[in-house]
Chains A and B, each alone.
Chain A
């Protein structure tokens, strides 16, 4: 029984470590997608967030400041995407693909210029990281420590789910946001500024993706490396589609990935389990597909998704 509780604690801990970066980015993706702008560039925005977060923590020694700044840098990258897609009517998939080459390239480029041609940033001090909650309250390694004493931003992302849900379904802005993603022309007729709402949503998506990236460099590990993000932005997008483009659904998707990751971590450290770690690593992806086929089914993509909106005269 003790072993069970301790294992459970480890799984919850690993889930809490793997989920937040995905969840921040996924909430960002919700904003963008629901307003009708496909944002494949989440991945690149996360990378920029991860890099800028680690650099700012390195120089200021303030984890929270770095976290916030990472979001702003993510938002700046999103501004490029927003300008191309909304003002120029670019193909959103193409623009997003461009962002995914441009943004990580830029991050590593600047990293090399700053740190003596190294593609990794120097490690940041523990004091410059995002603080852990209840530090010192629980015995290290105990169930309570594993479940409650993780990085504060991990809890923040779950609170954000509620906030985003509230914005989406209980505010005027949220209603307009959803309407703009379904039928921009009708919104325009009613005097809603489609461009403005889409700009806000895409920039918000970059901000949240930046936070997701920074969570990795400021909490999970303590430095930026090129291979740090690879794929996570896409997983976040997958989680959003899985969750039918709702914040609460996206959370379920992210938790599914996080949980499978937790089980994977536990299984790969347990010598009694003889299954190849590579096969165990496939579980989250297979589970996602199976869950979609069996339980979730078809998801409604916002009707105006991917279509540039141009005012016709």
Chain B
């Protein structure tokens, strides 16, 4: 009996339960809205489920969509641990793909090495983008939310500038760079892409999972991770305990930027193989915020929430087939995040009920 109670209590205390409640609420709200505009929600969700799980090919595509989101999610989750809100993952993602593009187009290296070079360049670029903001914050006291937003836009226009520079510009395609050479591509060999029937099946998911494990290791098993968490929890106490909080924040923002940059590389080398002129921010960084929040900033959780987001994003494109607005996906994700934000209310209510007995 006692044992049973503890299990129940464990479930009540676990954030997974509240995440599930939030996800269910999201779908319910989406269903109500669909019904209001005269679309059968069951039909729409059936189409969505079919668009995600209907064929192995669809699952493969969902995972391709998920990989960069897991990485931007990790980026945001890592920054949250130190109490920094990395709203700049968007820009770091863009500079990451720019760096990977330059290395992927201009260098001539053996296959595997070339991929590593692209990844390294992307991580360095992303880390640099994050570090500039960190330096402005630590040395000049400039609010990081502001500079992140500014650097998102600087990256955006820099990328559009790069598309039109002579050494990268694709003569045949007025609005894109040249394609990266094959040795820099992370697309799986033919026998795998034939098997999954998805031409962009790539190693991105492996990169993302490895990154998640590394980030988990840094946060929970290293001195640096301990320092970062301490600073995030209580900056003054951490400093009193001899931790240089400024240095910790700078390291966190750099690592966070590196993850977003790596996300840009995965998207470029696995999906686009070139950078096209932007007409609006692509949103990988902003979606990463949701990924991190759904995972309660847990790096391993980011793998699952990233895949969930990837599935929704890919499956959502199928909704147009039955004339249902695909924006219902944004609404569902928004409601999920909103309910995660107020999840402690459920926790309180559930525990109060128990206390009343």
Q: Chain A residues in contact with chain B, CB under 8 A? A: 40, 80, 84, 88-91, 93-95, 97-106, 108-110, 112-113, 117, 227, 230-231, 234-235, 237-238, 241-242, 276, 278-279, 281-282, 284-286, 288-289, 292-293, 297-299, 301
Whether A289 lies near B145 (C-beta < 8 A) is no
Contact of B37 with A by CB under 8 A: yes
Contact of B345 with A by CB under 8 A: yes
How near does chain B come to A34, taking the closest CB pair, in angstroms? 15
Contact of B66 with A by CB under 8 A: no
Whether B337 lies near A231 (C-beta < 8 A) is no
Chain B interface residue count: which class? 35 or more
Per the bound structure, the CA–CA distance linking A301 and B143 in Å amounts to 9
Per the bound structure, the CA–CA distance linking A104 and B161 in Å amounts to 28
Whether B143 lies near A94 (C-beta < 8 A) is no
7 closest pairs, A vs B, by CB? A102-B334, A105-B330, A298-B141, A101-B334, A98-B338, A98-B337, A113-B37
Contact of B9 with A by CB under 8 A: no
Q: Chain B residues in contact with chain A, CB under 8 A? A: 33, 37-38, 85, 87, 136, 140-143, 145-147, 149-154, 157-158, 160-161, 164, 279-281, 286, 289-290, 293, 323, 325, 327-331, 333-338, 340-342, 344-345
Q: A100-B334, A292-B146 are in contact. List 14 more A-B contacts (CB 8 A).
A: A84-B338, A88-B341, A106-B33, A106-B327, A108-B327, A109-B33, A109-B331, A230-B281, A278-B160, A281-B157, A285-B153, A286-B154, A289-B142, A292-B147
Per the bound structure, the CA–CA distance linking A106 and B332 in Å amounts to 10
Per the bound structure, the CA–CA distance linking A276 and B169 in Å amounts to 14
Binding site secondary structure of chain B: helix
Per the bound structure, the CA–CA distance linking A222 and B37 in Å amounts to 25
User: Quick one: given A238-B146, A298-B142, are A97 and B325 in contact (CB under 8 Å)?
Assistant: no
How near does chain B come to A143, taking the closest CB pair, in angstroms? 31
Contact among B140, B280, B286, B341 with A91 in the assembled complex (CB-CB below 8 Å): B341
Residues of B contacting A276 in the complex (Cβ-Cβ under 8 angstroms)? 161, 164
User: Quick one: given A279-B157, A279-B161, A293-B136, are A103 and B334 in contact (CB under 8 Å)?
Assistant: yes
Whether A293 lies near B142 (C-beta < 8 A) is yes
Per the bound structure, the CA–CA distance linking A238 and B147 in Å amounts to 8
How near does chain B come to A223, taking the closest CB pair, in angstroms? 16
Whether B334 lies near A278 (C-beta < 8 A) is no
Residues of A contacting B158 in the complex (Cβ-Cβ under 8 angstroms)? 278, 282
User: Quick one: given A90-B342, A112-B327, are A97 and B290 in contact (CB under 8 Å)?
Assistant: yes
Q: Which residue of B lies closest to A97 (CB)?
A: B289
Per the bound structure, the CA–CA distance linking A278 and B342 in Å amounts to 41
8 A-B pairs (CB sep. < 8 Å): A80-B338, A84-B342, A93-B85, A108-B327, A110-B37, A227-B280, A278-B160, A288-B146
Whether B338 lies near A238 (C-beta < 8 A) is no
Per the bound structure, the CA–CA distance linking A94 and B286 in Å amounts to 12
Residues of A contacting B290 in the complex (Cβ-Cβ under 8 angstroms)? 97, 101
Whether A297 lies near B141 (C-beta < 8 A) is yes
How near does chain B come to A271, taking the closest CB pair, in angstroms? 17
User: Quick one: given A238-B149, A242-B146, are A227 and B279 in contact (CB under 8 Å)?
Assistant: yes
Per the bound structure, the CA–CA distance linking A299 and B290 in Å amounts to 28
Per the bound structure, the CA–CA distance linking A40 and B87 in Å amounts to 10
Contact among B140, B157, B335, B345 with A278 in the assembled complex (CB-CB below 8 Å): B157
Residues of A contacting B325 in the complex (Cβ-Cβ under 8 angstroms)? 108-109, 112-113, 117
Residues of B contacting A90 in the complex (Cβ-Cβ under 8 angstroms)? 338, 341-342
Contact among B146, B147, B335 with A98 in the assembled complex (CB-CB below 8 Å): B335
